[in-house]
């Protein structure tokens, strides 16, 4: 899987994906995911797997345990306007997906805790990608 090491590479990937702002032409495409502006729980039965293509990962293969430190600018984890800081949680544990019908790009990661597994999805807004050390 293609690893995205920095924000410039993520911006380039999103730009090349050329997402459409029109509704997804696929009947079972990404329409329900477009409402995921902050991190939303998406069960496997709601994930439109047949219409999604994994493009890359933000998880550094050389880092065994990525940080849980978050980066915010007056926002919270689930805020629709939270910055996308790829070296910070949860972005550093995310994969980049694209709807094959319309080109919309999404971030997805799986949160594990105790006895549960929670798949989270966020529509990738390129205007929110920030360089944060």
In DSSP notation, 23-52 reads: PPSSTTSSTTGGG-SS-EE--TTTS-GGGE
- With tokens 């390129």, the residue in question is 126
What phi and psi, each to the nearest 5 degrees, are found at residue 105? -105, 140
- pTM of the entire structure? 0.91
CA R_g for the chain: 14
Listed by start position, the domains of the chain span 7-128
**How far is C-alpha 129 from the chain's CA centre?**
11
Q: pLDDT tens track of the chain, all 133 residues? A: 899 999 999 999 988 876 656 667 766 678 888 889 999 999 888 899 998 999 999 999 999 999 999 999 899 998 999 999 999 999 999 999 999 888 889 999 998 877 888 999 999 999 999 998 7
- With tokens 């994994």, the residue in question is 54
Please check whether residue 103 is in contact with residue 17, taking contact to mean a CB–CB distance below 8 angstroms.
Answer: yes
């Amino acid at each position: 899987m293609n690893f995205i090491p920095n924000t410039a590479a993520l911006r380039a990937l999103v730009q090349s994906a050329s997402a459409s702002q029109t509704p997804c032409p696929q009947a079972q495409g990404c329409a329900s995911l477009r409402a995921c502006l902050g991190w939303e729980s998406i069960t496997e039965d709601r994930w439109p797997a047949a219409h999604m293509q994994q493009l890359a990962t933000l998880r550094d293969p050389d880092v065994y345990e990525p940080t849980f430190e978050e980066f915010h600018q007056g926002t919270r984890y689930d805020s629709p306007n939270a910055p996308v800081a790829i070296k910070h949680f949860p972005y550093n544990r995310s994969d980049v997906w694209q709807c094959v019908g319309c080109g919309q790009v999404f971030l997805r990661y799986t949160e594990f805790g105790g006895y549960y597994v929670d798949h989270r999805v966020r529509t990738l807004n390129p205007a929110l990608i920030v360089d944060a050390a």
